[in-house]
């Protein structure tokens, strides 16, 4: 399937059996390591992430519960650690040491995201919707 002019495949989770896109939205390839810059993809606001998810038939943003169920490790879904884009200055922070991926869930004015590093995972983090985070879609 094509999304934003890039061709995507799917990957089946060995943990849950759920179907995910094989890489982040905007990434030119599947991640070869957790710090693979060509696999980071776009840093999207929550509004942009929701808009793209609506365009991809049969896929959507995952829930925090789906992130949690995956018991994420890099080698399972090839999710790199691209960091995030600041909502205030537009700079990218924590590149190569943190992963932040939007979920479809919101909490008041904020949205929920998966936040992880090499030693901890929070599948239900709360962030301002203007941050730029990565997006990995899951099949309905």
pTM for the full predicted model: 0.94
Is 18 contained in some domain? no
Structural domain count, the chain:
1
Is 53 contained in some domain? yes
Domain containing 85: what range? 26-139
Residue 73: predicted pLDDT: 62
Q: Round to whole Å and give the CA distance between 64 and 69.
A: 9
Residue 103: predicted pLDDT: 97
pLDDT band for position 11 (cuts 50, 70, 90): very high
In tens, the pLDDT along 73-130 reads 656 899 999 999 999 999 999 999 999 999 999 999 999 999 999 888 899 999 999 9
Is 42 contained in some domain? yes
- Token pair in block for residue 105: 């869930």
Average pLDDT for the chain = 94
pLDDT at 135 over 80: yes
Residue 9: predicted pLDDT: 97
């Amino acid at each position: 399937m094509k999304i934003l002019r890039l061709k995507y495949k799917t990957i089946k989770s060995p943990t849950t059996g759920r179907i995910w896109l094989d890489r982040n939205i905007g990434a030119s390839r599947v991640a070869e390591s957790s710090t693979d810059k060509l696999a980071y993809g776009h840093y999207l606001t929550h509004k942009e992430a929701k808009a793209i998810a609506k365009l991809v038939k049969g896929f959507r943003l995952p829930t925090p519960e789906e992130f949690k169920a995956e018991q994420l490790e890099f080698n399972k879904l090839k999710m790199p650690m691209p960091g995030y884009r600041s909502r205030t200055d537009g700079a990218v922070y924590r590149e190569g040491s943190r992963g932040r991926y939007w979920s479809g869930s919101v909490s008041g004015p904020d949205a929920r995201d998966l936040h992880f590093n090499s030693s901890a995972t929070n599948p239900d983090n709360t962030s301002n919707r203007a941050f730029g985070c990565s997006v990995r879609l899951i099949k309905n």
